[in-house]
A and B are shown apart, each in its own frame.
Chain A
Amino acid sequence: MANVADTIKDAAPAVGQWTRGRLALVLVGIAVALTLLRYAGLLPDALFRLPEALIPPFALWLDVIFNFIKDDLGLLAFTRMLTEGLEWLLDVTANLMFGKRRWPYLGPIPWTAVAAVAAVIGYYLGGWRMAALGAGTFIWTALIGQWKIAMETMSVLMVAAPLAFFIGLGLGILAWKYTAVNRAIKPILSVLQTLPFFTYLLPAVIFFKVGPTAGAVATTIYAIPPMILMTTLGLQKVPSEVVEAGNMSGCSKWQLLRHVYLPSARTEILVGVNQVIMLCLAMVVLTAFIGMPGLGAKLLAMMGSFKLGRSFEIGVTIVLLAVTLDRMSKAWVVKQPEHFERDTPWWRRHVMLLTGLAAFVFFCIAAQFVEVFAEIGRKQNFSQGKEIDTLIKQFLALDPVQNTTGAIRYVLNVWILNPFRDFLLSIPTPAFILCVVAFALALGGKRPAVYGAIFFSLVALSGWWDRSVITLYSVISAVTLALLIGVPVGIAAARSEKWSQRVLLACDTAQTFPSFIYLIPAIMLFGITATSVVMSILIFAMVPLTRYTIEGLRTVPPEMTEAADMAGATRMQKLVKVQLPLALPTMAVGFNQAIMFAFFMVIIAAFIGTQDLGQELQRTLAGTDLGKNFVLGICVSLMALTFDLTIMKWAADQKKALGLPD
C-alpha cells in the first residue's frame, strides 16, 4: 500500500496529498499505540469493545418499525394480495414446465420439445454451435434425471426475470427522466448491491409466503438494480442528433421514447437483460435457503449429506444452464437485424419462427406416442451419482491427495488463518476503525474516510463487532490469497494474445456460474471445514482479479509499450515501469469486485458453518426476526460499501490523473 500512496503523490498536486498521507500515518500510529496499550493490559475494557450497555437495541427498534409498517399500515395485507397474483403466474409456468396440477392443465411440456426449441433459438442467435449448446444442455438435464428440479428452477426464473426486466426498465426510465428520482435511487442501489442475499430472503418470506412466491420476489428484487443502471446508461448514450431527428420528425414525447430512445438504447438494454437473467439464476439457486424447491434445494441437500457425485452432476446442470442462458442472451445483444430483399415471401422472413413452432408441435405430438420423448423415468436416466461419488471419495482417500490437502489445510489454518483472525480480534475497536479510516483516507481522500468512519462506527454500535471482524477476516484473507494467485496468472496470460483470449473466456464463463457452484470444489477437496470457506471465496474472488489484470495490461496503449521497447527496456522493466502502473486503476476495479464477491460468498459459506455474520443471518431465516436480520445485513453492506467507495474513488482518480478513459 505504501507503493500506492507514492503513486498518488506523483499524480496529483503535492501539498494536499502530503498532508493526506501524513494524516493517515498518524491515525495508524494512534491505532498501533492503542493496540499495544491493550496488549500491555493498560487499556480500559470500555475502549477495547463497546460495553453491552451502550449498544442501542437497533434490532428492537427496527422490529417496532417493521411491525408498524407490516400490520398497522397494512403492508402485509397488500403484499399478500400481490402474492395471489404472483402465485397464479408461478402456477402457470409450473404447470407448463413440470406439470404442477394447476390451470391451464396443459403441461408438462415434453423435454424433447423444450430442447428442440432451445436448439432453434440457439441456431437463430449464434449458428450451429449455439444450437448444440442449447439442445445439449436440456438433453443432459433430462438424461441425467434432473428434468423436474431443473424445471422447477426455470419456472421461477421465467416469472422473475421478465418482472425484474420491466420493473428495472420502468425505474431506469424514471431515473433518466427525473434527476430527483435518480438521486434518490442511486444510494439505494449501491446498498442493495452490497446487501447479503439472506437479507433479501427473510423479508420475502415474511411478506410473500414460503416457497416459490418468496423465491420469485427475492430473485426479482435482487436482479433489478443492474437493469436500472443499464437502462439509464443506454438512454443517456443515445446520440443527440438521433433525438433531434426524432423531434424534427414531429415526435410527441411518448413517440420519442417509444420509437427513438428505447430502440436506440437497444444494446445497453439487452446487456441489462443478460445481467438480469444471470442474477436471477444465481439468486433462484440460493433461494433454496428459504425452501424453494429446485436445483438449488437439491444441491444444498446433497452437499449437506456429502453426496459428492450427485452434487457434481447438479453442479454441471446449473453450469450448463448458466452458460447457455448467458451465451444466448449475449448473442442477442450483438445480433443485428438482417434485411430481406423486397418481395421476400412471408414464410421466408419468418423461417426461424416457423421452424421453432414446427419442432415444438412435432415433439409435443411425438411425445404422446413415444414415452421417452415425454419424460425420462426414474430407472431410465443415466445418472452416475453413486459411481462418481465413490470415484471422488477414492481419489480423495489416496495418500498423496490426502497429504496435500491436509498440508494445505494445516498450513493455512494453523500458520496463517487462525493467527490472523486472532490478531484482528485482539485489536481494540477504536484502533480498528482508525486503521480503516486511514486506509480510506490514503486511497480515496476525505469523503471515503468520513464514510468509512461513520459506517464502521455503526457496525461497532450494532453490537455484532466480533462477528463482523470475523467476516472481514475471511474476506481479507481470501482476497489476499486470491491476489497472490490471480494477479500472476493474469500477468502471465497477458503476455500472449492467444492465452489472454483463453483465460478471459474462462473467466467470463466462470463469472456466469451461480456463486453456489463454487462451494462444490472447495467442499470436495477440503470437506466441511473452515478451509473450505476460504477456498471457495478464494476461487470466486480470483476470477475478477485475473480478468481485470489481463484487461488492464491489454488496454495499455501500444505506443507506450513500443516507446518502452525503443528505450531498451527489458520485459521485466517494461512490466514494472510501464504496464503495471498504467494497468493499476483497472486492476483496482477488479480488486474491488473481488472484495464484493468475497462479501457475497462469505455469507453463502455460512452453510458450511462459520462464526461470522452470515451464520447469524442464516439463523434468522428460521424465524421472523426481521430486525436482527436487517441489522446483520446492513453490517455486511456497510463494510462492503466502505471498500467500494474507497477503491472506486482511487481508481477513478488514478484514471483521471493518467488520462485513461473510464
Chain B
Amino acid sequence: MTADTVISCKNVWKIFGADPERYLRSMPADHSFDDIRADGYIAGVKDVSIEVSRGEMLVIMGLSGSGKSTLVRCFSRLHEITGGSIVVEGQDIMSLSEKELIELRRNKMGMVFQSFGLLPHRTVLENVAFPLEMRGQDKHTRRERALEVVKLVGLEGREEYFPRELSGGQQQRVGIARSLAIEPDIWFLDEPFSALDPLIRREMQDEFLRLQGMLGKTIVFITHDFDEALRLADRIAIMKDGAVEQCDTPDQIVLNPATEYVRKFTEDIDKARVVHAGVLAQADAAGEGEPVDAKASVQDLARLLVHDTRPVIPVATNGTVIGGMDRIAALDILLEAS
C-alpha cells in the first residue's frame, strides 16, 4: 500500500443471512456464489481486494444485483463487513468506534444516492446544510457554505424550494451539493444518474466532469451503464455475483478482457473510441516522422491511420516520444477485426 492509497480493501466479504460470520468461518474456500445461495446465504461481496488512489476515479460496474452498491456501502461502513479488512486514509474502519465513524463521515466522506435520498421536509438549502448542521456548525456559517455549494451546482434561486417542487435532475443536484457541503476527500456516487432521463443524464455527466475538474476528489462511482463508465473512469472494476472480475483501465478492459464474462460485456463497445494511442505504443519501436498524441483515441486518429503509410507511428506525451504504435494493429481496432 502506497502513501497515496486512500481506500484499500483486502479479501472483503459481505454475506447476508442468519449468522453470516459463523457461516463464513465454516465455509469451504472454493464455494461459489450459487453454492452459498444454496446454503441459504447471499454473498453480497465476495472476496474483493481493491485499492483506490488519491485523486483517482474508480468506476465500479456490473448488472443489478452484482454487489456494486453493497461494496461501496462497505467502504463507508453503512454495511458491516463479514470478513476481510478495509483501510480508509490509514484507519481500519472496522475498528472505529461509533463516534469515530461519525467523525470520519462528517469530515471526509460524501455520498450521492440513486434516488437522491433527500429529506422531504427540508428546503434545498436546509438539505444541503444538513451535514453541517449535524456536525454542529452555527447557523450563519452553514448557511454561507450551503449557498456557496448550491451556486456551485447551478441551483441558484431555488434555495427555498422543497425537493418535491424540483425536477429529478435538480433533485440530484441537491444531492450532489449536500455531499459536497463538508468538502469531503472521498466521494461516493451510487448510480447517481440512473434515475434520470437520457438527455438529463448526459448533461449531469458533463456537469459532474466539470465539478471533478475543479475539485479533483477521490471518487468511487457506481454505474450499470458501460458508456457512462467509459466516459468517466480512470479505472473500471467489473463485478459479477459479488466478486470483482477485472479491475483495470478502460483500454485494458477492452483490449485484454480477463474473463469470458468481461469479454461478453465489452463485446458491443466501439473499441476505437476507448483505446488510446498511448496504450498501443511500444517502447522498443520508435517509428519516424510526426508523432501523435498519446491521449488521442484510435477513432480520433482514424483519418491519419487510413492515409498514413508508415508501418510504425511514434507516440508522444507532451512532446516527448514514448514509443511507436503499430499502424496495422491500430487499424484492426478501428475496423473491429480481431
In whole Å, how far is A259's beta carbon from the nearest beta carbon of chain B?
A: 7
Residues of chain A with a CB closer than 8 A to B288's CB: none
Closest residue on chain B to residue A255 by CB atoms: B134
Interface string of B121-139 (1 = CB under 8 A from A): 1110000001101110000
Closest residue on chain B to residue A242 by CB atoms: B117
Residues of chain A with a CB closer than 8 A to B113's CB: 241, 244-245
Residues of chain B with a CB closer than 8 A to A246's CB: 119
Residues of chain B with a CB closer than 8 A to A259's CB: 119, 130, 133-134
Closest residue on chain B to residue A253 by CB atoms: B98
Closest residue on chain A to residue B188 by CB atoms: A248
Interface string of A324-340 (1 = CB under 8 A from B): 00000000000011011
Q: Is the CB of A249 within 8 A of B131?
A: yes
Q: Which chain A residues numbered 309 to 330 have a C-beta less than 8 Å away from chain B?
A: none
In whole Å, how far is B236's beta carbon from the nearest beta carbon of chain A?
A: 24
Closest residue on chain A to residue B130 by CB atoms: A249
* Given A250-B131, A339-B160, A342-B160, A245-B117 contact (CB < 8 Å): yes
Residues of chain A with a CB closer than 8 A to B178's CB: 245, 249
In whole Å, how far is B213's beta carbon from the nearest beta carbon of chain A?
A: 24
Q: Is the CB of B118 within 8 A of A247?
A: no
Q: Is the CB of A244 within 8 A of B160?
A: no
- Quick one: which of B109, B113, B123, B182 has the most chain A CB within 10 A? B113
A52 within 8 A of B: no
- Quick one: which of A252, A339, A342 has the most chain B CB within 10 A? A339
Q: Is the CB of A339 within 8 A of B123?
A: yes
Report the separation of the CA atoms of residues A242 and B115 in the bound assembly, to the nearest whole angstrom. 9
A266 within 8 A of B: yes
In whole Å, how far is B102's beta carbon from the nearest beta carbon of chain A?
A: 5
Q: Is the CB of B164 within 8 A of A249?
A: no
Report the separation of the CA atoms of residues A266 and B120 in the bound assembly, to the nearest whole angstrom. 10
Q: Is the CB of B161 within 8 A of A339?
A: yes
Residues of chain A with a CB closer than 8 A to B131's CB: 248-250
Report the separation of the CA atoms of residues A242 and B122 in the bound assembly, to the nearest whole angstrom. 12
Report the separation of the CA atoms of residues A342 and B146 in the bound assembly, to the nearest whole angstrom. 14
Interface string of A224-244 (1 = CB under 8 A from B): 000000000000000101101
B76 within 8 A of A: yes
Closest residue on chain B to residue A241 by CB atoms: B117
Residues of chain B with a CB closer than 8 A to A252's CB: 102, 134
Q: Is the CB of A337 within 8 A of B121?
A: yes
Residues of chain A with a CB closer than 8 A to B117's CB: 239, 241-242, 244-245
Q: Which chain A residues numbered 466 to 486 have a C-beta less than 8 Å away from chain B?
A: none
Q: Is the CB of B162 within 8 A of A245?
A: no
Interface string of B159-185 (1 = CB under 8 A from A): 111101100000000010011001000
Report the separation of the CA atoms of residues A571 and B105 in the bound assembly, to the nearest whole angstrom. 62
In whole Å, how far is B175's beta carbon from the nearest beta carbon of chain A?
A: 8
Closest residue on chain B to residue A252 by CB atoms: B102
A511 within 8 A of B: no
Report the separation of the CA atoms of residues A344 and B186 in the bound assembly, to the nearest whole angstrom. 37
Contact of A248 among B110, B122, B133 (CB under 8 A): B110
B78 within 8 A of A: yes
Closest residue on chain A to residue B113 by CB atoms: A241
Q: Is the CB of A250 within 8 A of B106?
A: yes
In whole Å, how far is B129's beta carbon from the nearest beta carbon of chain A?
A: 10
Closest residue on chain A to residue B126 by CB atoms: A259
Report the separation of the CA atoms of residues A252 and B131 in the bound assembly, to the nearest whole angstrom. 11
A383 within 8 A of B: no
Residues of chain B with a CB closer than 8 A to A250's CB: 102-103, 105-107, 131, 134-135, 182
Report the separation of the CA atoms of residues A513 and B135 in the bound assembly, to the nearest whole angstrom. 48
B212 within 8 A of A: no
Q: Is the CB of B119 within 8 A of A248?
A: no
Report the separation of the CA atoms of residues A460 and B231 in the bound assembly, to the nearest whole angstrom. 76
Q: Is the CB of B111 within 8 A of A242?
A: no
Interface string of A258-300 (1 = CB under 8 A from B): 0110011010000000000000000000000000000000000
Q: Is the CB of A263 within 8 A of B120?
A: yes
Report the separation of the CA atoms of residues A241 and B189 in the bound assembly, to the nearest whole angstrom. 12
Closest residue on chain B to residue A256 by CB atoms: B134
B114 within 8 A of A: yes
Residues of chain B with a CB closer than 8 A to A245's CB: 111, 113, 117-119, 175, 178
Q: Is the CB of A251 within 8 A of B134?
A: yes
Residues of chain A with a CB closer than 8 A to B119's CB: 242, 245-246, 259-260, 263-264
- Quick one: which of A245, A255, A263 has the most chain B CB within 10 A? A245
B193 within 8 A of A: no
In whole Å, how far is B143's beta carbon from the nearest beta carbon of chain A?
A: 11
Contact of B111 among A248, A251, A340, A342 (CB under 8 A): A248
Number of B residues with CB within 8 Å of any CB on chain A:
38
Q: Is the CB of B130 within 8 A of A336?
A: no
Residues of chain A with a CB closer than 8 A to B134's CB: 249-252, 255, 259
Interface string of B39-77 (1 = CB under 8 A from A): 000000000000000000000000000000000010010
Report the separation of the CA atoms of residues A245 and B164 in the bound assembly, to the nearest whole angstrom. 17
Residues of chain B with a CB closer than 8 A to A559's CB: none
Q: Is the CB of B164 within 8 A of A336?
A: yes
Residues of chain A with a CB closer than 8 A to B130's CB: 249, 259
In whole Å, how far is B193's beta carbon from the nearest beta carbon of chain A?
A: 15
Residues of chain B with a CB closer than 8 A to A340's CB: 160
Interface string of B4-44 (1 = CB under 8 A from A): 00000000000000000000000000000000000000000
Q: Is the CB of B121 within 8 A of A342?
A: no
- Quick one: which of B73, B116, B134, B160 has the most chain A CB within 10 A? B134
* Given A264-B119, A341-B160, A248-B114 contact (CB < 8 Å): no
Report the separation of the CA atoms of residues A510 and B220 in the bound assembly, to the nearest whole angstrom. 57
Residues of chain A with a CB closer than 8 A to B76's CB: 248
Report the separation of the CA atoms of residues A263 and B111 in the bound assembly, to the nearest whole angstrom. 21
Interface string of A14-32 (1 = CB under 8 A from B): 0000000000000000000
In whole Å, how far is B89's beta carbon from the nearest beta carbon of chain A?
A: 16
In whole Å, how far is A594's beta carbon from the nearest beta carbon of chain B?
A: 36
Interface string of B68-103 (1 = CB under 8 A from A): 000001001010000000000000000000000011
In whole Å, how far is A267's beta carbon from the nearest beta carbon of chain B?
A: 9
Interface string of A365-391 (1 = CB under 8 A from B): 000000000000000000000000000
* Given A255-B134, A264-B120, A241-B78 contact (CB < 8 Å): no
Residues of chain B with a CB closer than 8 A to A260's CB: 119
Closest residue on chain B to residue A249 by CB atoms: B131
Q: Is the CB of B165 within 8 A of A339?
A: yes
Residues of chain A with a CB closer than 8 A to B110's CB: 248
Residues of chain A with a CB closer than 8 A to B159's CB: 342
Q: Is the CB of B115 within 8 A of A239?
A: yes
Q: Is the CB of A244 within 8 A of B78?
A: yes
Q: Which chain B residues numbered 225 to 260 have a C-beta less than 8 Å away from chain A?
A: none
* Given A259-B130, A264-B119, A248-B160 contact (CB < 8 Å): no
Report the separation of the CA atoms of residues A27 and B179 in the bound assembly, to the nearest whole angstrom. 66
Residues of chain A with a CB closer than 8 A to B122's CB: 263
Report the separation of the CA atoms of residues A252 and B123 in the bound assembly, to the nearest whole angstrom. 21
In whole Å, how far is B65's beta carbon from the nearest beta carbon of chain A?
A: 16
Closest residue on chain A to residue B135 by CB atoms: A250
* Given A250-B103, A342-B160, A244-B111 contact (CB < 8 Å): yes
Further pairs besides A244-B117, A249-B106, A250-B106: 14, Cβ < 8 Å: A242-B117, A245-B111, A245-B118, A245-B119, A248-B188, A250-B102, A252-B134, A260-B119, A263-B119, A264-B119, A264-B120, A266-B120, A339-B160, A339-B161
Query: 7 nearest interchain CB pairs?
Result: A250-B106, A245-B117, A241-B117, A249-B131, A248-B111, A263-B121, A241-B113
Can you offer 5 A-B residue contacts whose CB atoms are under 8 A?
A244-B117, A249-B134, A266-B120, A337-B162, A342-B160
Q: Tell me the A residues contacting B by CB distance below 8 Å.
A: 239, 241-242, 244-252, 255, 259-260, 263-264, 266, 336-337, 339-342
